């Protein structure tokens, strides 16, 4: 009686091909996913800036000044400030922190939206709109 040898497992070539395919997929998917996550964090800043503008305009209607109306708590991705705040004008600013540290957005009393800082590949700052996608797309 002859015994047949049963081969079990994968050959080295099969494993190398599998690793190569997974590496190519990861090289394509990871940057796309990172970009998707970054774009998902931007509306947090633009929404808070728009809300603050409404609050400051309501304050101006009530007391005829913007002064004393800037109070926006920071969130996970942005800190907020009012670098210009006086009786007749304001500028509200959102500065990114952590993974969003290359983004800075502003909004003034005339509803002029500006992106004053963006990471490489997102356009050239300053841009007279809020950049929400790579390539300076508003």
Q: Determine, yes or no, domain membership for 29.
A: yes
- 17-36 tens-digit pLDDT: 999 999 999 999 998 898 89
Number of domains the chain contains: 1
Question: What are the pLDDT digits (tens) for 37-47?
Answer: 999 999 999 99
Q: Is residue 134 part of a domain?
A: no
Length of the chain, in residues: 138
Each residue's pLDDT tens digit, 76-95: 999 999 999 999 999 999 99
pTM of the model: 0.81
DSSP 76-99: SSEEEEEEEESSS-EEEEEEE-GG
Inside any domain, residue 135: no
More confident call, 5 vs 51: 51
Distance CA 87, CA 85 (A): 7
Q: What domain range is 76 assigned to?
A: 13-117
Task: List phi, psi (to 5°) of 110.
Answer: -90, 10
CATH number at residue 94: 3.30.700.10
Classify residue 5: in a domain, yes or no: no
Residue 52 inside a domain? The answer is yes
């Amino acid at each position: 009686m002859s015994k047949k040898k049963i081969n079990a497992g994968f050959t080295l070539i099969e494993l190398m091909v599998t690793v190569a395919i997974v590496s190519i997929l990861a090289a394509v998917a990871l940057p796309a996913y990172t970009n998707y996550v970054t774009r998902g964090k931007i509306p947090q800043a633009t929404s808070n800036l728009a809300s603050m503008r409404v609050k400051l305009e309501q304050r101006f209607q009530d007391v005829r000044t913007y002064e004393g109306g800037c109070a926006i708590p920071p969130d996970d991705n942005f800190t907020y400030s009012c670098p210009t705040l006086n009786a007749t004008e304001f500028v509200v600013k959102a500065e990114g922190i952590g993974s969003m540290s290359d983004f800075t957005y502003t909004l003034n009393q005339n509803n002029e939206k500006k992106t004053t800082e963006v990471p490489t590949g997102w356009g050239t700052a300053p841009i007279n709109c809020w950049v929400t996608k790579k390539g300076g797309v508003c």
